[in-house]
Amino acid sequence: MPRIHDDSFVEFVNTGKTQRNGSLTMKGNEVKSYSTVIAKVDRVRKVVDFNTDHYSVTTDRHQSAVTRGMNKLDGWVLRLGMI
């Protein structure tokens, strides 16, 4: 199983460039674990809406990559439970 890196999330937020790490896909403004949207990025407002629901161990790891990545994004806001 590939290791999930929060740096991919940071690059996605900053550039909008599609990222894929195993079953974690970041494209457009959505971050998906398998087919479940776990975050939505609003680059204009510098806000990430975050899905806090529990689905699986893998999705939990994907959600952790998002929250760790947020620590590297100055001026961005993480809104919990907004999806």
Whose CA is closest to 12, among 66, 49, 79? 66
Structure confidence by residue, pLDDT tens digits, 22-31: 899 999 999 9
Structure confidence by residue, pLDDT tens digits, 24-83: 999 999 999 999 999 999 999 999 999 999 999 999 999 999 999 999 999 999 999 988
**Angstrom distance (rounded) from CA 57 to CA 40:** 20
- Domain tally, the chain: 1
Domain encompassing residue 11: 6-80
- Residue 1 within a domain: no
- Residue 71 within a domain: yes
- Residue 42 within a domain: yes
Whether the predicted model's global pTM rises above the 0.85 cut: yes
